[in-house]
């Protein structure tokens, strides 16, 4: 284990960080979009394809056994990473988005009806808005929205007013991708459970920044994406309490999610397999397991402490930039700076920064309603990962000054 946190050693594990962009060293500050991959993840995926590539759960030969074992071992790693009670509570999906859709179209269709209410918040990613809108359109249920204050924090007193006997589900983001706000998720869950209402937690942004414990949180469902967790794209996780998953109907039909098939009747496999139809993203799961190994070796507590220190430093230097207005100033936030520069369009800022080798994101961040709440059409977003440094934040600040000079501010 790296003790104390040695960011230079960490950076050496990520090959892409050593490349040039437009002749400048890469300054990668787009981690809320996707993270870069350590060599150990790259090696794990390459090892599958060079030494034991085969389909899983189907073959009796050695390669099939090795691939199946690695795939299922990764599931156990996920279980441990979020402290689930049982590896069978871990469902592989493509990403957090698919996890939310799975719950909406299985649990939701079976349990939510006309006149029922679903609660989400103003700061949700589209992935935790649209599936519930679709369900409401289909069932006649209603969507209720928790408002936020000017700092980008949930108004819990307003949430309490929304909860009632009509409430049948709550879907809530743990950490906002557009604001960086870290919500009081345990309190949100407890308030819903007082009404017997299940809660889905969108942990796509929080999973790679801080420790997660689904048993301590007592959430009913939780989703996250592998590509934000320093793992491959195309792999994600849905956690669900076993009793809920066992009652939910299958999500898709096909191979491996069945026990028996005749033309008259099909019986379905046990969880998690009844939700994993067809050949899965085998290399993605194995790569995700390798990413979890990497994070576990570093220590999630140490990662969080390092990033919190870095976040505080960045907040200080960014707020000194003339004309910069931070969007999202919650007391408890992590690893995301979303801001605008007076008189300069975010896309223009992004173009200037790219010429300096700085990767950030500009736009609405798949969170249109929250930007509408703050009255801005788009923001500049710089987001941190475990390999970022104070020097990179200084580079960002210099790039912003360059943009101001170019556009005459």
Catalytic machinery residues: 366
Q: Please check whether residue 185 is in contact with residue 217, taking contact to mean a CB–CB distance below 8 angstroms.
A: yes
Q: Please check whether residue 96 is in contact with residue 204, taking contact to mean a CB–CB distance below 8 angstroms.
A: yes
């Amino acid at each position: 284990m790296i003790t104390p946190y040695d960011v230079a050693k960490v950076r050496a594990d990520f090959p892409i960080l050593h490349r040039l962009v437009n002749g400048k060293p890469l300054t990668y500050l787009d981690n809320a979009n996707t993270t870069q991959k350590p060599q150990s993840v790259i090696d794990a995926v390459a090892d599958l394809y060079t030494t034991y590539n085969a389909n899983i759960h189907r073959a009796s030969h050695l390669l099939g056994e090795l691939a199946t074992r690695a795939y299922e071992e990764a599931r156990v790693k996920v279980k441990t990473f979020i402290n689930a009670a049982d590896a069978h509570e871990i469902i592989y999906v493509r990403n957090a988005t698919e996890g939310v859709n799975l719950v909406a179209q299985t649990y939701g269709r079976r349990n939510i009806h006309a006149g029922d209410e679903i609660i989400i918040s103003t700061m949700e990613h589209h992935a935790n808005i649209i599936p519930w809108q679709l369900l409401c359109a289909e069932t006649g249920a209603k969507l209720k929205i928790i408002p936020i204050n000017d700092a980008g924090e949930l108004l819990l007193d307003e949430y309490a007013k929304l909860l009632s006997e009509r409430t049948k589900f709550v879907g809530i983001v743990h950490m906002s991708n557009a604001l960086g706000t870290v919500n009081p998720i345990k309190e949100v869950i407890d308030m819903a459970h007082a009404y017997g209402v299940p809660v889905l937690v969108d942990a796509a942004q929080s999973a790679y920044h801080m420790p997660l414990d689904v048993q301590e949180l007592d959430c009913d469902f939780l989703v996250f994406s592998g590509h934000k967790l320093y793992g491959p794209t195309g792999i994600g996780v849905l956690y669900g309490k076993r009793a809920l998953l066992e009652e939910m109907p299958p999500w898709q039909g096909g191979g491996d999610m069945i026990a028996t098939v005749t033309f008259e009747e099909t019986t379905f496999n046990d969880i998690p397999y009844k939700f994993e139809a067809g050949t899965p993203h085998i290399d993605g799961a194995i790569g995700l397991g390798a990413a979890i190994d990497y994070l576990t070796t570093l220590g999630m507590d140490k990662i969080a402490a390092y990033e919190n220190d870095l976040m505080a430093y960045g907040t200080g230097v960014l707020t000194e930039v003339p004309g910069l207005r931070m969007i999202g100033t919650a007391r408890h936030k992590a690893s995301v700076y979303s801001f605008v520069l007076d008189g300069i369009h975010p896309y223009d800022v992004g173009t200037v920064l790219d010429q300096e080798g700085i990767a950030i994101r500009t736009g609405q961040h798949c969170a249109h309603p929250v930007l509408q709440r703050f009255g801005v059409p788009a923001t500049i977003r710089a987001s941190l990962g475990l390999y970022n440094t104070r020097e990179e934040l200084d580079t960002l600040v210099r790039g912003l000054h360059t943009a101001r000079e170019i556009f005459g501010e």
